[in-house]
Chains A and B, each alone.
Chain A
């Protein structure tokens, strides 16, 4: 077969990521479809505190009530922004929700058997702080510099022309029409997001497939293991790994737990950066955010998370020191 075995391996990986991620995207787009038709414009904004800073702080915690992973959150956010949620709050929720939610907390807790609470708690706090910092910064940035120009245009149109009816006066036909509209909007979002998702997972599958020409090429993971001793190189390498692997935030902790040549700081950088920015998200974000802003956001997250993980490493080291297994130390001695 042409390009055998590269093509079967690539196809295998491509489908595995597709069948893993697509149900979550569908969930997000169905929610977004119903938000589109049933949620009045500005309703979410009215639920948040009037003080924008407090609104950002609260948006970072919405994942506890509405737990969604990073694939599902993008179409929801896209719709909420159109419904009047301020972009700063929307992006805070988008970055925080995949980490600050009970499912991710529990999976991190079970993955790190030695220091479960410390790792799960640190990840949650780390993710929340980063998302809120981004949100607070974005309060000072104009909508036009954050969102896609097309979305900005639609926001202006929506603000000037649409008002939703309440359900009270609707007849049966109107309710049925609304259901059709909701599911039509859901599918439209699904296809919109799906197109970008395919581009992302194609890149992820290529990176994870042995190259067709030189079978002796060293896998990425071996390069990354070599950076474990470097203060700045280790978090940078693990953030790069999480970017390329594009794992689901609900289960990436099980991978981080096996990266035991690295200290806690770089592993937390892996666990916080990955759900906020990876290859597939780069393309999914393209359905909402301007390209320039995505690049600035990616660079900012990389620098911010990397720096924090290095600065906080002494605290993280304390977790392991307090619970070091006696027999492995004895063996080394």
Chain B
């Protein structure tokens, strides 16, 4: 095998290894943990294209082809010399060889290692670091709209359960805090939310009667994700559901003022474990 062919094989393997990642994540149903929904098909088709490109070049790795250029100024093909001599028609336009060691160390190995090490979700430490216990905004989401937000508008556009609970998005409740008029609309509202359960920050849970519901909201990918959390307050004993389990929570919307900042929470809660929704973590705030 010549050096050029060896480089071609390594580059093909690097391309295939990169293409394998999105295809693997997509087929395993894990892509939603990594990317927002608008990127899912792009990632899948990109991954498949990388595999096809890599395989195509792997199959043609030994093939010598012209570069598509006219070399007549250098090679006089009208005379009688043997065309099998040392004219190298397989030269590369860049006139440089790729370093196969760089391709192996920087493209193939990191991808294999990261695919092995990832747990396809944030650790508890990372969730905290990403803002699980923080309020990110001082303004209500709806205070940025031009039309006035009213209780009638809320009732009109929000579906209800047969028990009369408003099916709210966690993001909607999270961003409702901060504006007196909007908080009044939500205050006391019977609501049902879905999200993942986790222990409450001890300093925010002096009576030990709270857990927290959270969702990871990403714009493009997990790197830019924000973790939005809403406390759940229980009048009965705390549920014994494991951390990070998907749950349905029912209760009444309430607000509290901590260090001059408003936070939404759900009081008198009942929770039950549920399946992870299809669009988990994919909705934009």
CB distance from A293 to the nearest CB of B (A): 20
Q: Are A11 and B113 in contact (CB under 8 A)?
A: yes
Within 8 A of A (CB), among B90-117: 92-96, 98, 102-103, 106-107, 110-111, 113-117
Which of these, B70, B114, B138, contacts A261 with CB under 8 Å? B138
CB distance from B48 to the nearest CB of A (A): 10
Given contacts A8-B118, A11-B118, A26-B46, whether A17 and B143 have CB atoms under 8 Å apart is no
Does A195 have its Cβ within 8 Å of any Cβ on chain B?
yes
A181 to B89, alpha carbons, bound, how many Å? 11
Kindly specify which of A93-101, A158-166, A302-310 makes contact with the partner chain.
A158-166
Q: Digit string of B132-159 for contact with A (CB within 8 Å is 1, else 0)?
A: 0000111110011110110000000000
Which of these, A19, A202, A325, A330, contacts B22 with CB under 8 Å? A19
A174 to B67, alpha carbons, bound, how many Å? 9
A194 to B99, alpha carbons, bound, how many Å? 13
A-B contact count (CB 8 A): 244
CB distance from A10 to the nearest CB of B (A): 8
Does A255 have its Cβ within 8 Å of any Cβ on chain B?
yes
A3 to B125, alpha carbons, bound, how many Å? 13
Q: Are A23 and B145 in contact (CB under 8 A)?
A: no
Q: Are A163 and B69 in contact (CB under 8 A)?
A: yes
A331 to B143, alpha carbons, bound, how many Å? 10
B contact residues around A190 at 8 Å (CB): 11, 15, 50, 53
Kindly specify which of B54-62, B190-198, B236-244, B249-257 makes contact with the partner chain.
B54-62
Q: Are A194 and B14 in contact (CB under 8 A)?
A: yes
Interface centre among B56, B125, B182 (most CB of A within 10 A): B125
Does B38 have its Cβ within 8 Å of any Cβ on chain A?
yes
Q: Are A23 and B47 in contact (CB under 8 A)?
A: yes
A contact residues around B139 at 8 Å (CB): 260, 328
CB distance from A279 to the nearest CB of B (A): 11
**Nearest residue, chain A, Cβ from B143:** A328
Q: Digit string of B63-77 for contact with A (CB within 8 Å is 1, else 0)?
A: 101111110011000
A157 to B21, alpha carbons, bound, how many Å? 38
CB distance from B102 to the nearest CB of A (A): 5
A contact residues around B106 at 8 Å (CB): 194-195, 198-199
Does B204 have its Cβ within 8 Å of any Cβ on chain A?
no
Majority secondary structure of chain A interface residues (helix, strand, loop or mixed): helix
A48 to B149, alpha carbons, bound, how many Å? 51
Q: Are B54 and A327 in contact (CB under 8 A)?
A: no
Given contacts A9-B122, A19-B43, A30-B53, 12 further A-B contacts (CB under 8 A): A14-B114, A16-B222, A19-B34, A19-B39, A23-B43, A37-B68, A38-B68, A113-B144, A113-B146, A154-B94, A190-B50, A210-B129
> Which residues of B approach A to under 8 Å, CB–CB?
8, 11-12, 14-15, 18, 21-22, 25, 31, 33-36, 38-39, 42-43, 45-47, 49-50, 53-54, 56-57, 60, 63, 65-70, 73-74, 92-96, 98, 102-103, 106-107, 110-111, 113-126, 128-131, 136-140, 143-146, 148-149, 179-182, 219-224, 226, 284-285
A-B contact pairs, 14 of them (CB 8 A): A8-B119, A19-B21, A19-B25, A19-B47, A20-B43, A82-B93, A154-B95, A181-B68, A184-B8, A188-B11, A198-B106, A255-B219, A260-B144, A327-B179
> Which residues of A approach B to under 8 Å, CB–CB?
1, 5, 7-20, 22-24, 26-27, 30, 36-38, 82, 113-114, 150, 154, 157-158, 161-165, 174, 177-178, 180-181, 183-188, 190-192, 194-195, 198-199, 202, 204-205, 208-210, 215, 219, 221, 245-248, 251-252, 254-255, 258, 260-261, 323, 325-328, 330-331
